[in-house]
Amino acid sequence: MGVIVVVGAQFGDEAKGKITDYLAAQARYVVRTGGGPNAGHSIHLAEGAVVLHQVPCGILRAGVTSVCGPGMVLDPKALEEEIRTLQERGLFRGELIISERAHAILPTHLVEDAWEEELRSATNPTAVLGTTRRGIGPAYADRYGRWGIRFGELIRPAKLAERLELLYASKPYLKNLPDRSQVLADLSEVATRLAPYVRPTEPILWSAVERNESILLEGAQSALLDVDFGTYPYVTSHHPTSAGALVGSGLPPSEVTAVIGITKAYATRVGAGPFPTEVAGDMGAYLQREGGERGATTGRLRQVGWLDLVLLRYVARLNGFSSLALTKVDVLGGLDEVPVAVQYVTPSGETLTNYPPADAEELARVTPVYEKMPGWPKFNERLVERIRSEGAAALPSTLKQFIDYVGRETRVPIEWVSYGPRREQTVWLGRSGGRTAAAGISAWAG
Ligand code: IMP
């Protein structure tokens, strides 16, 4: 079965949590490889909804080991709270381990995230990123600046004190930092409680590979938020791509069996940055309402738009998707037609089909050209029930047409369709062609 990588194919919030949870039923390990509490993975269980921010979604399944991988930046206090909440709700069913190489988000990073956004705003309001203010950017900056504190250091009190002193010394430009000795005392306390989870995680995963156990790399954020390949500077600070998932786990590319991209049937974006297919007005409000498009982490309303094939073709090649999961098709049910952007025209009249401008301002100036696909009916209880009992054959014919179209245009087969928030509302379409890499996944899902 090998290593399966799940990657968000848009600007985040594609229902990666839901699809990862679905695939986790067959996994032995689920690994988060990047980001931290900026993520919000919502999963709808019979017991109610759960939103995971730092803990991988494998935790909801007994017999699965969840790994907070080396590439993550974790807020120790928030992580402890998340663990406690899961335990109190009886949902902490698997095992959890935290890489000694993962970095800690400290109170200084939260102060710095807010300070940076204010600095951008004061200098040039269009430069504001709209970060989640969870300290992600500053924590990664310290990681690469080599000021950061790893979990392996966090749990050794003398080392923590030494690293914290250095970290504070590196920020003479920040006023109003929380008192260092208080931060040290608080962190030491939390670290003592988290210490039993902290381990070298790569050897555990390498041994799992040798035993041919299945490993799912749970993407967080998405390819278009990649610090290099996304809409820079309106991006997050790590690599939410298939390549990034390997760096963030310590697993080698040669072990990857499949790379699954997750895309909604439309698009959303939260925070600042270009969004060529954004829809405003009544239709925008309709999609926001029907799709429940509010950020799971920050509660912000998401901007909405149509599916963008230029970006999807780009992201498919960047990540080497072996298949796609198409989510939230039910949200579009009942529309007469469903527009899909097939190309861009630049202000100079150039046509772009699969490689968007790297420059965010240029991307904001393109005009999308739309193909209008016939709409499909609303997903009433009867249709939902039929899909549940008969599988993909019961999907409305115009939706099948849409699925085929997106698969053909991106040259990536759509392997799953998600048609509602609940765990069981995902249907496997089988491997409609696809690359050999997808062979592993059919064994998982079939
Ligand atoms: P940061 O990751 O908090 O630094 O935020 C940088 C940008 O990425 C902002 O536009 C955020 O809204 C966006 N972002 C970060 N994490 C997520 C996510 O999980 N879903 C959607 N957008 C995100």
Q: Please, what are the domains in the chain? A: 103-196 (1.10.300.10), 267-446 (3.90.170.10)
End-to-end CA distance of the chain: 13
Element (H, E) at 350: none
Q: Does pTM top 0.75 for this prediction?
A: yes
Q: Name the phi and psi angles at 424, rounded to 5.
A: -85, -5
Distance from C-alpha of 368 to C-alpha of 279, rounded to nearest angstrom: 12
Residue 92, SS3?
A: coil
Q: Let me know: does 426 contact 19? Beta carbons within 8 Å.
A: yes
Of 13, 21, 142, 308, catalytic: 13
Which two structure tokens, joined as six digits, stand for 399? Answer: 């939706």
Residue 398's CB: how many other CB atoms inside 10 A?
Answer: 15
Q: Is 41 noted as a catalytic residue in this protein?
A: yes
Distance 11 CA to ligand 1 centre (A): 8
Tokens 């990664």, located at residue: 140
- Give the list of residues 6+ apart from residue 149 with CB closer than 8 angstroms, or none: 103, 104, 106, 160, 163, 164, 167
Of 21, 41, 238, 239, catalytic: 41
Length of the chain: 446
Quick one: 254 exposed, middle or buried, by C-beta within 10 A (0-12, 13-18, 19+)?
Answer: exposed
Testing ligand 1's pocket by substitution, the residue of 72, 113, 132 carrying the most ligand atoms inside 8 A of its CB is 132
Establish whether residue 13 lines the binding site of ligand 1, counting it when its CB lies within 6 angstroms of any ligand atom: yes
Of the candidates 284, 302, 305, the one whose C-alpha atom is nearest the C-alpha of residue 293 is 302
Q: Measured from the CA of 136, which atom of ligand 1 is nearest?
A: 4
Distance 296 CA to ligand 1 centre (A): 11
Which two structure tokens, joined as six digits, stand for 315? Answer: 């992201």
**Residues of the chain where predicted confidence (pLDDT) is lower than 70:** 1, 431-446
